[in-house]
Amino acid sequence: MNNHSVGVIIQARVGSSRLPGKILMKLPFNGSKDSLSWIFDELKSSSIFKHIILATSTAPENQILSTLAAHYGIGYYQGSENNVLSRFADVIRLYGLNVVVRITGDNPIIDIHLIEEVVKSHIKDQQDYSYTVNLPLGMNIEVFSTEAFLSFKDYELDDSDREHVTIYFKKSNKFKIREYYINHSLDYEKIRVTLDYPNDYVLLNLIMQIAESQSINGLKLIEWVNGEMPWLWEVNNKMQQITPN
């Protein structure tokens, strides 16, 4: 770990066609924190990250995010609106990162211990791209090595590759990739704790009230809800994910 500059890049923007301004909505609705604030607090509890950067676009409505990033002492960068891949490449070069954890601003429930576990395994096994597959939608983890990521420029990419950042790792056969399975016995893949639709916001309001009252987060929070109030998952279980999480 000491020889690696590990950073987190949080991909976020204010605009959303299905739920405008979703990343700045309070969770719970009468609380003091929004989706990004939950993410910032959890990430800053770790000591393995050299840099944490919020990467957004140059669209004027996103300028408000600079104030929030500054409040939490988070790095801030504005780049291309549609070519998110170039936005990540700019941040990587600017901060001198060689391992990156990719986070999206509409996924407020993260488990820092699991992220650290995947990062350490990724570095130890010298992977190009590591990702989890058996966590709730909105909690899966992506880690990639920047040397492999920056080599994307040598290949023929389409608009989807530029928009979804890491999708080319899975599409091609040029990289060393690991599917990482978190050790648990429950069927969490049918649970969604991402923030994309009004129903998602309703569920996350309830879950974040539990997070505050029980002082728990991450997978322990999901386990608590699953054990005590499993019917909560019915609030948004009919929603469909349009784009890769």
Alpha helices for 73-128 (secondary structure H): 84-95, 112-124
Domain contains 56: yes
Per DSSP, the residues of 183-240 read: S--S-GGG-B----SHHHHHHHHHHHHHHHHHT--HHHHHHHHHHH-GGGGGGSTT--
Domain contains 166: yes
Q: What is the largest CA-CA distance in the chain?
A: 51
How many structural domains comprise the chain? 1
What is residue 20's predicted lDDT score, i.e. its pLDDT?
87
Domain contains 240: no
What is residue 244's predicted lDDT score, i.e. its pLDDT?
42
Which amino acid, residue 124?
Answer: K
Q: How far is CA 75 from CA 92, 152, 217, in A?
A: 12, 24, 24
Domain contains 243: no
Domain contains 27: yes
Domain contains 208: yes
Range of the domain at 210: 6-235
What is residue 240's predicted lDDT score, i.e. its pLDDT?
61
From first to last of its 245 residues, the chain has per-residue pLDDT tens of 666 899 999 999 998 878 989 999 999 998 999 999 999 999 999 999 999 999 999 999 999 999 999 999 999 999 998 899 999 999 999 999 999 999 999 999 999 999 999 999 999 999 999 999 999 999 999 999 999 999 998 888 899 989 899 999 999 889 999 999 988 777 787 899 999 999 999 999 999 999 999 999 999 999 999 999 999 999 998 776 554 43
What is residue 245's predicted lDDT score, i.e. its pLDDT?
37
pTM: 0.93
Q: What CATH number does residue 62 fall under? A: 3.90.550.10
Domain contains 1: no
